[in-house]
Amino acid sequence: MISTIIIAFVVGGLVCVVGQLLFDVAKLTPAHTLSLMVVIGSVLDGFGLYEPFIDFAGAGATVPIMSFGNSLTHGAMAEAEKHGLIGVLTGMFEVTSSGISAAIVFGVIAALIFKSKGKVS
């Protein structure tokens, strides 16, 4: 149990270190960094590598944005097996739809309740 938590913490943290290096060293914008992480996750799953990564790191692999790319590929491949090429299109958002819908719904709720502020970090 404890070792699972530690592995998840360290691996998740290392993923974030990669993201931070993309900001600070490669000088990528937040949007570019985010997209790149999603693409990496997607490609890794395409080679069947993301599932073993999740088995190893647990939340350390599912919480970072890379897992969104993994879910995109995962859904597309699963549906493609059932429905062929059309399945690639329909499947892509099948697994990820809950995440996308949640982002929209909670975004709307937050915007209704709160007002943004210029706060120093």
> Rounded to an integer, what distance in angstroms lies between the CA atom of residue 81 and that of residue 71?
15
- Nearest approach in angstroms of CB 5 to other proteins is 26
Q: Does 120 bind other proteins (CB under 8 A)?
A: yes
Q: Is the Cβ of residue 34 or residue 77 nearer to other proteins in the bound state?
A: 34
The contact mask relative to other proteins for 14-33 (x = CB under 8 A, - = no) is ---------xx--x--x---
Residue 121 near other proteins by CB under 8 A: yes
Q: Does 112 bind other proteins (CB under 8 A)?
A: no
Please return the burial class of 66, using the count of CB atoms within 10 Å of its CB with bins 0-12, 13-18 and 19+: buried
Of 15, 85, 5, the residue nearest 50 (C-alpha): 15
DSSP string of 25-54? TS---HHHHHHHHHHHHHHHHHTT-HHHHH
3 sits near other proteins (criterion: CB under 8 A)? no
**Reduced to 3 states, what is the DSSP secondary structure of residue 58?**
coil
Using CB under 8 A as the binding rule, the residues of this chain from 30 to 69 that contact other proteins are 30
Q: Which residues bind other proteins (CB under 8 A)?
A: 23-24, 27, 30, 115-121
